[in-house]
Structure 1
Amino acid sequence: MNNLFQFGETVDGYPVRVVNERTVRAAAGLLFFPAVVSFMNALLTANYQPTRLFVIVFLIDMTLRMLNPRWAPSMIVGGWIVRHQTPEWVGAPQKRFAWGLGLLLGIAMLYLMVLNRFMGPVNMLVCASCLTLMFFETAFGICLGCKLYNVFNREKAQLCPGGVCEVPARRPGWGIALPQAAVLVLFVGALTLAKGWVDETGPLGGFDDMATLEDMGLKPVAGAPTDPKAEAERCQVPAFAKAIGHEATWKQHNGCS
């Protein structure tokens, strides 16, 4: 029974219980992808149903992680994906603290969006926080929540990814060689020029552009007549879009004049 709810694994040679960082990063990526898809879908189309579903999935996964990471669906699938990689053991206590923060954010979204159907800037702030935490974990192996562990706990975190808990051997300067910095400057300059050229050439004609359809050899399909009353109701800008000054963009994304 103790093993059922034991957080982390006991591995010989390690002073604290540990989790496999490779599995953690894989699990973060598995959650990050549907999270960003549902978030952008809500932002661009005002369809919050995928986000509400993802919040439920996220909350279940985080709850199981807090009990025992080995039972969380994302950790199970992530562990299977990286099963042939050498484990990288990191301290479990700071991970549990970080996932606890994720659980609190999930509970907030459950209350606001799933149960009370509240849509507004607060939701975006919470979602953006979750996305940021998951992105840093899966892309860079940086656990932002773990960094707060040392602030609220007397015992400092041990066995952090990349050995950052220990005193690292620092290179002098910023860690970027001068030629590398020059490449970055040139890249930014090329990006600026490319943006200027793209802006000058104008936007591409979409499938609503009759000339573009003719050029492609396609014929526009006549749709069913639109009910003016239903169209007016569909194009009512939600309160959250007005609150953040997103009204015109929302109308554009939803095909409303």
Structure 2
Amino acid sequence: MNLQSFLWEYGAKVPGYDVRVINEREARAAAGILGTLGMIVIFVGIGFNHTMVARVYLAFLFVDFTARIISPNYSPSLLLGKLVVQNQKPEYVGGLQKRFAWTLGWLISLPMMWWFVIHWDINFYKVLICVLCLLLTFLESAFGICVGCKLYKIMTKIDPAHCPGGVCEIRKKEPIQMFSPIQKVITALTVIGLVVGTYFFLAYTKPTTFFGEFLHEAVLTDSQLQKEKDAEFQREMEKEFGDDEEW
């Protein structure tokens, strides 16, 4: 295999397609597997303060994305996804944009290898990168949204072929995809409820981790934060000198 074929001949050659392709069903299944494992790692790490689980997962993530950008035939998560959906009809998408997206994933996993696997040094911003990675896997597995594929067109100026869900092709929405007025109201109320509920939870729930504390402070204004600090100071003073005042 020469360099040109390595760079431009990525994916499988399928009759009827003018470019090499990837089975999107396998890719989404693999994203779901990685995302689920990542959530388990977060819960185990926070609940049991078990850093080894996180190190093993992030090392696996790096190896998996390294294998992906070389060939999808050697990625452990893609092979697991293939095993799960092997009886489903394939949905083919262009291979090059998927490889570009997975290369971005590899670039995200590269610094995490140093921060968390080789040299454990955790802080909020580094954890935020991990959360970003999980968010991308969630978008791909749940909604078929490949953020890296969208960046592929922006950064390379090349129109991708055979995108997930057919979003590359200009088409008119089917009737089942349209929203009725009642559906629009229900959807809007659901979104508002989620946003408001998340805000109240972050604003009025006492955080117990540094990540929760950061989010708590992020949703409050400076005056609210000052008021909260004053109230906490007042409680501490009453706790310390309350008995003296009774005398």
TM-score (ref. length: structure 1): 0.68
Please list every run of 5 or more consecutive structure 2 residues that lacks an aligned counterpart in the other structure: 199-207, 217-247
What is residue 92 of structure 1 aligned with on the other side?
Answer: 95
What is residue 136 of structure 1 aligned with on the other side?
Answer: 139
What is residue 82 of structure 1 aligned with on the other side?
Answer: 85
Deviations 1:212-244 (A, max 9, x none): xxxxxxxxxxxxxxxxxxxxxxxxx99x66984
Query: Residue 38 of structure 1 aligns to a residue in which SS?
Result: helix
Q: Decide whether the 8 Å contact of 1:39 with 1:127 is kept in 2.
A: no
Please list every run of 5 or more consecutive structure 1 residues that lacks an aligned counterpart in the other structure: 196-236, 247-257
What is residue 186 of structure 2 aligned with on the other side?
Answer: 183
Q: What is the alpha-carbon distance in structure 2 between the residues aligned to residue 181 and residue 187 of structure 1? A: 10
CA 1:91/1:186 → structure 2, altered by over 3 Å: closer, same or farther? Answer: closer
Q: What aligned pairs does 1:60-75 form with structure 2 within 5 A after superposition?
A: 60-75=63-78
Superposed displacement of residue 25, structure 1: 0.6
What is residue 109 of structure 2 aligned with on the other side?
Answer: 106
Q: What is the alpha-carbon distance in structure 2 between the residues aligned to residue 17 and residue 100 of structure 1? A: 17
Q: How many residues align?
A: 201
Cα RMSD (Å): 3.3
Superposed displacement of residue 121, structure 1: 1.3
CA 1:114/1:94 → structure 2, altered by over 3 Å: closer, same or farther? Answer: same
Do residues 146 (structure 1) and 149 (structure 2) align?
yes
Q: What is the alpha-carbon distance in structure 1 between the residues aligned to residue 212 and residue 185 of structure 2? A: 43
Superposed displacement of residue 185, structure 1: 5.9
Q: What is the alpha-carbon distance in structure 2 between the residues aligned to residue 132 and residue 48 of structure 1? A: 21
Query: Residue 93 of structure 2 aligns to a residue in which SS?
Result: strand
Do residues 123 (structure 1) and 126 (structure 2) align?
yes
Superposed displacement of residue 27, structure 1: 0.7
Superposed displacement of residue 125, structure 1: 1.4
CA 1:23/1:45 → structure 2, altered by over 3 Å: closer, same or farther? Answer: same
CA 1:74/1:245 → structure 2, altered by over 3 Å: closer, same or farther? Answer: closer
Q: What is the alpha-carbon distance in structure 1 between the residues aligned to residue 33 and residue 158 of structure 2? A: 31
Query: Residue 148 of structure 1 aligns to a residue in which SS?
Result: helix
Query: Residue 57 of structure 1 aligns to a residue in which SS?
Result: helix
Query: Residue 13 of structure 2 aligns to a residue in which SS?
Result: coil
**Aligned residues with identical type, % of pairs:** 38
CA 1:121/1:188 → structure 2, altered by over 3 Å: closer, same or farther? Answer: closer
- Among 18, 39, 43, the residue aligned to 2:42: 39
CA 1:170/1:41 → structure 2, altered by over 3 Å: closer, same or farther? Answer: same
Superposed displacement of residue 186, structure 1: 6.5
Q: Decide whether the 8 Å contact of 1:91 with 1:158 is kept in 2.
A: yes
Superposed displacement of residue 51, structure 1: 1.3
What amino acid maps onto 1:132 in structure 2?
A: L
Q: What is the alpha-carbon distance in structure 2 between the residues aligned to residue 245 and residue 182 of structure 1? A: 29
Superposed displacement of residue 41, structure 1: 3.3
Q: What is the alpha-carbon distance in structure 1 between the residues aligned to residue 190 and residue 69 of structure 2? A: 43
Query: Residue 60 of structure 1 aligns to a residue in which SS?
Result: helix
CA 1:148/1:245 → structure 2, altered by over 3 Å: closer, same or farther? Answer: closer
Q: What is the alpha-carbon distance in structure 2 between the residues aligned to residue 31 and residue 98 of structure 1? A: 15
Deviations 1:83-102 (A, max 9, x none): 11111110001000000011
Deviations 1:129-168 (A, max 9, x none): 1011100110011101111001111321110011101113
What amino acid maps onto 2:122 in structure 1?
A: M
Deviations 1:3-39 (A, max 9, x none): xx76300112211110000011111111111111112
Superposed displacement of residue 179, structure 1: 1.7
